Amino acid sequence: MVFTEDTIGEFFEKQVERYADKEFIVYPDRDLRFTYREFNERVNLLAKGLLSIGIGKGDHVGIWATNVPDWLTFLFATAKIGAVLVTVNTAYKSHELEYVMKQSDMKAIAIIDGFRDVDYVQTLYELVPELRTHERGHLRSERFPELRSVIYIGAQKHRGMYNTNELMLLGKHVPDTELRAVMSTLKNTDVINMQYT
């Protein structure tokens, strides 16, 4: 592989042009397959959905999830808009998540149901009780002043949270030109990932 001066988004789109109808990702346990083109369309919808809720260049977006298909979607979507994906260890307990959310100044966090003995949804409701009373996208948390949105990875609805399907629907209303304009401001030296170990 030749390294380029491209951003991750630009590099991926060149691969989409080259391998459009070839399989990019396969999850046999979920009977799920995406070609490069299909996956890129999904990434773009999520990227535009994130833009529609106020996530942009330099914003920190946490992801607290196991190896689910949308983990990769979030990786590429945040890279395309210049947001920083903050990867959260799946084994973290409440106090560890609290530290990461505060220290990283998360503006949004995407979560799954949970992993092993940790219920991620319940943990977020305990750490951010305002989720139960604030309108989605307009969260004002005393404990996490930067946090504006919580995103549930999946179709299920939870009070105060977007789900990925809703974000992608919102993304349909954002013109492709808006995403292209954001992508044109990015450089390959921009930070796109923050990892906590």
**Distance in angstroms (rounded) separating the CA atoms of residues 32 and 14:** 23
User: Does the pLDDT of residue 197 top 80, yes or no?
Assistant: no
Distance CA 40, CA 25 (A): 11
Residue 1 has pLDDT above 60, yes or no: no
At 83, give phi and psi (nearest 5°).
-80, 160
Residue 138 confidence class, pLDDT cut points 50, 70, 90: confident
How much of the chain exceeds pLDDT 70, in percent?
98
End-to-end CA gap in the chain: 28
Instruction: Let me know: does 160 contact 131? Beta carbons within 8 Å.
Output: yes
From residue 141, give the alpha-carbon distance in Å to each of 49, 57, 127, 134, 138: 22, 22, 9, 9, 10
Confidence (pLDDT) at 2: 58
- The pLDDT of residue 66: 94
Tokens of 84: 């920083």
Give residue limits of the domains in the chain. Answer: 8-195
Q: Is-contact 128 150, C-beta < 8 A?
A: yes
Judge whether residue 4 has pLDDT over 90: no
**Looking at residue 142, what DSSP letter applies?**
S
Residue 3: the pLDDT is 60
Given this model, what pLDDT does residue 29 score? 87
Q: Which of 2-11, 49-58, 140-149 is the least confident region?
A: 2-11
**Tell me, what's the pLDDT at 193?**
96
For residues 196 and 77, give the distance between their C-alpha atoms in angstroms, rounded to a whole number: 20
Question: Looking at the domain 8-195, which fold is it?
Answer: Rossmann fold (3.40.50)
DSSP designation for 83:
P
Q: Which residues lie closer than 8 Å to 166 by C-beta, 6 or more apart?
A: 49
Chain mean pLDDT for the chain? 95
